């Protein structure tokens, strides 16, 4: 069983930290469906941003199962160390360092995956954070800055030497962004062979079959699922079933999805408030209804609603009508992008 410091995770499935997506309500939902571990959205490391509404929401861990893991990002070792201490004082039980985000605004600040160009700075940041807190520190990174400068194994060895207790490796370079380039599972396999800390494989894991294939090929200790869980949090339950039985379960009943959406939305509104909540919930509802009959026209109607009660009623009515025609979600079976690149 995968361990991170004193914490034994209940399985090998992790929900990825995704800014604007994996907030507390969504993390809790993924955990309910079987994810063994969840990492928060990226929290700003600069102290002047800690009291903003966005940061305060991201640091709200009420009702979350242990271990509570918080991701921080930045490029200054002392600032990152201070951010780690601050988040531990506010409930973080694991600190995760982001050196994998490829977004331009993050890389322009020489943070995220931009740090992979400076291995000495990587070491200083990791050592500063590890020495600052008494909780496990983990790292999420990529295979390198570009295909010409892959340094995944060296970064992994630097991380292990610094005291990092688990490593998530996304199998793309920064230059590949989120979609470009095939996933380099060979680099993940090489990293796993080069270090003795747990390695979590990440990148295009979009089906239970793909999850098992990646685990078997790379030897990784766990897999991290990201975009495939958007609107489909039951992918964790399906994957655990596939691991145990070697076959896919039936898709959820329409009534089950309707009920979980109502619960998800109510939790979402509680965290964000009505005004922000009704707007930020639209993307989740869009993902839930993607590929379903009448989903496009439903989303057009939904996006003009400005009150939470109207949004809830619209979702309930849509799924009630769907349940009249279908017992289970009428979706195509999981189709992995490729079984392995």
Catalytic residues: 101
Specify whether the backbone of 197 is left (phi greater than 0), alpha (psi in -120 to 50) or beta. Answer: beta
> Tokens standing for 126?
């990791």
Phi, psi dihedrals of residue 187, rounded to the nearest 5°:
-65, -40
Beta bridge partners of 139: 97, 167
Q: Which residues contact 27 (CB under 8 A, 6 or more apart)?
A: 15, 38, 40, 64
Q: How many CA atoms lie within 13 A of 335 on its CB side?
A: 3
Q: Which residues contact 253 (CB under 8 A, 6 or more apart)?
A: 327, 328, 329
Which CA distances in Å does 145 have to 5, 19, 113, 172, 187?
A: 29, 21, 7, 9, 14
Q: To which residue do tokens 């295909």 refer?
A: 147
> Tokens standing for 308?
């939470």
């Amino acid at each position: 069983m995968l361990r991170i410091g004193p914490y034994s995770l209940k399985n090998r499935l992790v929900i990825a930290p995704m800014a604007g997506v994996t907030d507390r309500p969504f993390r809790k939902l993924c955990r309910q469906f079987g994810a063994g571990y969840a990492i928060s959205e990226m929290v700003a490391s600069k102290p002047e941003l800690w009291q903003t509404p966005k940061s305060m929401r991201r640091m709200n861990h009420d009702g979350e199962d242990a271990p509570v893991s918080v991701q921080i990002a930045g490029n200054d070792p002392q600032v990152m160390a201070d951010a780690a201490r601050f988040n531990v004082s506010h409930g973080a039980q694991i600190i995760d360092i982001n050196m994998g985000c490829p977004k331009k605004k993050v890389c322009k600040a020489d943070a995220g995956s931009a740090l992979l160009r400076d291995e000495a700075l990587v070491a200083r940041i990791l050592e500063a954070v590890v020495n600052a807190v008494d909780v496990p520190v983990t790292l999420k990174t990529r295979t390198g800055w570009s295909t010409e400068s892959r340094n995944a194994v060296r970064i992994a060895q630097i991380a292990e030497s610094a005291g990092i207790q688990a490593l998530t490796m996304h199998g793309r370079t920064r230059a590949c962004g989120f979609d470009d380039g095939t996933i380099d599972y060979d680099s993940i396999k090489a990293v796993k062979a080069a270090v003795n800390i747990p390695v979590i494989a990440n990148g295009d894991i979009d089906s239970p079959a793909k999850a098992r294939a990646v685990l078997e090929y790379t030897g990784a200790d766990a897999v991290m699922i990201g975009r495939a869980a958007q609107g489909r949090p039951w992918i964790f339950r399906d994957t655990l079933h596939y691991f145990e039985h070697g076959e896919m379960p039936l898709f959820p009943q329409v009534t089950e999805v309707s009920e979980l959406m109502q619960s998800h939305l109510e939790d979402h509104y509680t965290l964000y408030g009505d005004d922000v909540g009704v707007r930020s919930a639209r993307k989740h509802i869009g993902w839930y209804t993607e590929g379903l009959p009448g989903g496009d026209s439903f989303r057009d109607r939904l996006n003009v609603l400005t009150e939470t009660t109207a949004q809830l009623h619209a979702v309930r009515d849509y799924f009630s009508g769907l349940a009249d025609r279908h017992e289970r979600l009428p979706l195509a079976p999981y189709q992995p992008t490729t079984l392995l690149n």
